[in-house]
Amino acid sequence: MVDPRALRSSTIVYRPIKPSDLEALEQIHGDLFPIRYESEFFLNVVNGRDIVSWGVVDCSRPEGQSDKLIGFVTARVVLAKESEIGDLLNYDPLRIDQTLIYILTLGVVEAYRNRGIASSLIREVIKYGSSIPTCQAVYLHVISYNDPAIYFYKKMAFKCVRRLQDFYYIRGRHYDSYLFVYYVNGGRSPCSPLDIVAAVASYMRSLFKSLAAKVWKNEDMKIASSSRSSRWSKCKETNCLLLATQNKRIVSPDQSVGCQCVV
């Protein structure tokens, strides 16, 4: 049990997970998750075999505890073409090397929660994914009743893109899961708001072009039939074209920020 008063003066350190973390890692997983993981999974984590991970310790804890894990995140790099979210990416079939980061487990022991530790861990994963040029997204599953985790991933700007029925089977019961995605390096859903805005912008551009052409034509006809000076007419045309450009700017792709595509 951790003394809450001691937490105020704690020194949180993020470091790689190492073989000596094996026991603590197994213990925290057992405490936090309803799913039992095989020994091989833990051995792979601590030895960095096909799994990337970050650990957290509180150096201000007494001797013997100061290097004991209080949080962790484990993840795996997977090929986009072999993943279940290939259809949610701006997938280029010619680029068979496109990858994703799949978060396997994330946990912080209870006494250390709500202090931004999991947020820091997830930011590390996102930074890692962004540093891999082929990486398109970071994604994960959350069991449908895990409200704190659902809240947490939404807060971290992950998009909830899918609900998978009966994804988990735990102690004789089925549970749904939510699929959360965070796009990196320009990887994005083919039906993302950005695409919709781009399509609307392109439509508006052609609409304004044809309107401008019509106005231009009318002005030419007016010039031919009126006795006004050509200089005044030109000025009016310029105004009209300027207005069209301004309208087009209203539909800028930047405005899609904050929207999400839920399948």
Ligand X SMILES: CC(C)(COP(=O)(O)OP(=O)(O)OC[C@H]1O[C@@H](n2cnc3c(N)ncnc32)[C@H](O)[C@@H]1OP(=O)(O)O)[C@@H](O)C(=O)NCCC(=O)NCCS
Q: Which residues bind ligand X (CB under 6 A)?
A: 32, 105-108, 113-119, 142, 146, 148-149, 151-152, 155
User: Closest approach of Cβ 182 to ligand X, in Å?
Assistant: 14
Q: At what angle do helices 117-131 and 147-155 cross, to 10 degrees?
A: 50
User: Closest approach of Cβ 45 to ligand X, in Å?
Assistant: 14
Q: Quick one: 132 or 149, whose CB is closer to ligand X?
A: 149
User: Closest approach of Cβ 136 to ligand X, in Å?
Assistant: 21
User: Closest approach of Cβ 61 to ligand X, in Å?
Assistant: 17
- Among 46, 13, 14, 15, which residue's Cα sits nearest to residue 29? 46
Q: Quick one: 177 or 192, whose CB is closer to ligand X?
A: 177
> What one-character DSSP code corresponds to residue 19?
G
Q: Quick one: 44 or 90, whose CB is closer to ligand X?
A: 44
| Residue 100 CB contacts under 8 Å (≥ 6 apart), including other chains | 77, 78, 79, 80, 83, 85, 89, 129, 135, 136, 137, 138, 139
Q: Quick one: 156 or 198, whose CB is closer to ligand X?
A: 156
Distance between CA 18 and CA 22 in Å, rounded? 8
Say if strands 99-108 and 135-143 run parallel, antiparallel, or are unpaired. Answer: parallel
- Among 117, 113, 106, which residue's Cα sits nearest to residue 141? 106
User: Closest approach of Cβ 107 to ligand X, in Å?
Assistant: 4
Alpha-carbon torsion (87, 92, 95, 101), positive or negative:
negative
Q: Quick one: 114 or 131, whose CB is closer to ligand X?
A: 114
